[in-house]
Structure 1
């Protein structure tokens, strides 16, 4: 399927991820983090973009960015090109540094911005680098807690304002929020969105932004219809899809249905866990494994493309 265009409107907030090509490191030394921050600061100012949170990892970065009139691509293309050129010169290398184009998920501010901030700041904890995010110096968490002065290019007050009216109350509430557990289903949504990998929001938010972007809101497709299409593609019956069988072939078919349902049809992982009578952690593990396999397996990508085409036909009927 062709990539859908980026959605842009003044005030839009995105979860932005920029990864090293083939998972290679994009940072080796402190100077490289500092150079990246310098060109980012310049780009933020030139394009009137706000950075609400960040986390720099060795082979990728996470940011919560809010645009004004200029589209996000202006900033991201500039950063990627400048940093790649500088990095290649520094190490005497040529070619791509980053993995394709950056990923940006448009986020419903009211429902998901604070969850996104927590997701970004806990990235080093999930990666087992630290047990407490305050011990990781390459994120904006310490600026939110008041342990360090926020750099001029980071906007902290807006998100802290959601937690309390005074600075001390807001920081205390923020720390309490950071200590809460995030459900696996929400983690999956924060990583991949819940609509075509471009949007994270409820049904009304999705319809509003698609309408603003002059895109047609697709007709709904039921889980049963989706499972029927996937079952046909995998040459099994829909009844087998909901059976207790743990065969690898059926597990893959269920994961394919869940992944497409989440990314294309605005369903939740829990919807498919319930439909297939599986628990959410198991379904999440299967879907995550399938996402990885899709990057390497051409035949699987072709099968997904065929299923998506069938879904499009059903929606147009």
Structure 2
């Protein structure tokens, strides 16, 4: 069954969940966690993405994000590919680190922001990683400690969250912590992670697990998404080929040829990855490059790895046109 396209529009609150491939651990040491946290902080500031909550588990992580300048996809691509390459080098491994694509749920901010902050920040406690709320207060791998003033993550919107709990930082922190304590016994919240809830339970509508909100929010969002898609004009495949060819110093016709030269293979793979990310189908890309749809899919995966490797070694100046909404 085809996967639903993400709803990816700037200024929407999104609950992002990423799991390790085959549910394997993606954080093996504090070095891994520091690396991820540093990358997250850098990208939040560089790409103007608001972060309201986050928590790192062993085999997955949660982020509550609001991209303000661009869609979420470029941010997540840079975060995940950069971390995966660094992780593989650190642990002498190869291959994919994450399970499929990340999961993102667009959320009605008015109704769910605080519930999501609490749910995400209580994850380490529910999983038994920390013993109690006191230990969570200083746990360095969750945004709760940031809200409690125990750690620093530039880019996390602590003031935006604390303002819901009253004026003054000290008083609002006390009220926020009481709010967290009230949620300790709540247990799992399937509605907050994109699972269907009961008919009267709110949460993700039965027809669309990509959305957390009531029917009015769903209808408003679908109208906005339709308008956004009408305004967005993806870069043509031919333009992508020309841009990547220029960056790699190869002829555009070489990318569409059967050449097996390493530099041309890399360029072709990056074209496949970029074109699909821009919204073109594998069949459309294949027609331009003279490839089968399965060949495009294989090249696309290789292109993601090529970009991650290049980005990790800072040898590639990414053309911002390929991350824009045009």
TM-score band, normalised by shorter chain: 0.5 to 0.7
Are 1:74 and 2:77 an aligned pair? Answer: no
> What is the deviation of 1:151?
2.2
Query: What CA distance in whole angstroms lies between the structure 2 residues aligned with 1:126 and 1:151?
Result: 23
Question: Where do 1:1-317 residues align within 5 Å?
Answer: 1-136=1-136, 137=139, 138-146=141-149, 148-181=150-183, 187-192=189-194, 194-195=204-205, 196-214=208-226
The Cα of 1:203 is off from its aligned counterpart by 1.1
- SS of the equivalent of 1:161 reads helix
Change (3 A) 1:102 1:24: same
Offset of 1:68 from its aligned partner? Answer: 1.1
Q: Tell me how far apart the structure 1 counterparts of residues 79 and 71 of structure 2 sit (CA, whole Å).
A: 14
Q: 1:54 touches 1:63 (CA, 8 Å); kept in 2?
A: yes
Question: Tell me, what secondary structure is at the counterpart of 1:213?
Answer: helix
Return the alpha-carbon distance in structure 1 between the equivalents of residues 186 and 53 of structure 2.
21
Residues 49, 66 of structure 1: 8 Å contact kept: yes
* Contact kept? 2:118, 2:183, Cα under 8 Å: no
Gap regions ≥5 residues in structure 1: 216-317
Conserved in 1, the CA contact under 8 Å of 2:14 and 2:66?
yes
Q: Is the 8 A contact 1:53 1:117 kept in 2?
A: yes
Partners in 2 of 1:184 and 1:52 — Cα distance?
A: 20
CA offset digits 1:117-157 (Å, max 9, x no partner):
000111112112223244141111122123x1432232211
- Per the normalisation by structure 2, the TM-score is 0.62
- 1: CA distance, partners of 2:173 / 2:186: 25
Name the SS for the 2:18 alignment partner.
strand
Task: Tell me the CA shift for residue 46 of structure 1.
Answer: 2.6
Secondary structure of the structure 2 residue equivalent to 1:100: coil
Partner in structure 2 of residue 240 of structure 1: none
CA distance in 2, matches of 1:30, 1:131: 19
The alignment of Structure 1 onto Structure 2 pairs a total of residues equal to 214
Over aligned residues, Cα RMSD in angstroms? Answer: 2.0
* Cα deviations by residue, 1:79-111 (Å, 9 ceiling, x for unpaired): 111111111112221111001111111111110
Whole-Å Cα distance in 2 between the matches of residues 135 and 168 of structure 1? 19
TM-score, normalised via structure 1 length: 0.63
In 2, Cα distance between equivalents of 1:127 and 1:78 = 28
Deviations, residues 219-259 of structure 1 (Å, cap 9, x unaligned): xxxxxxxxxxxxxxxxxxxxxxxxxxxxxxxxxxxxxxxxx
Would the alpha carbon gap of residues 166 and 184 (structure 1) be closer, same or farther in structure 2, given more than 3 Å must change? closer
Pick closer, same or farther for the CA change 1:186–1:60 going to 2, 3 Å. closer
Could you tell me how far 1:168 is from its partner in structure 2?
2.1
Q: Give SS of 1:45's match.
A: helix
Change beyond 3 A, Cα 1:107–1:30? same
Q: Deviations over 1:241-299 (max 9, x none)?
A: xxxxxxxxxxxxxxxxxxxxxxxxxxxxxxxxxxxxxxxxxxxxxxxxxxxxxxxxxxx
User: Secondary structure of the residue that 1:214 maps to in structure 2?
Assistant: helix
- Summarize the Cα distance change of 1:32–1:115 in structure 2 as closer, same or farther, 3 Å threshold: same
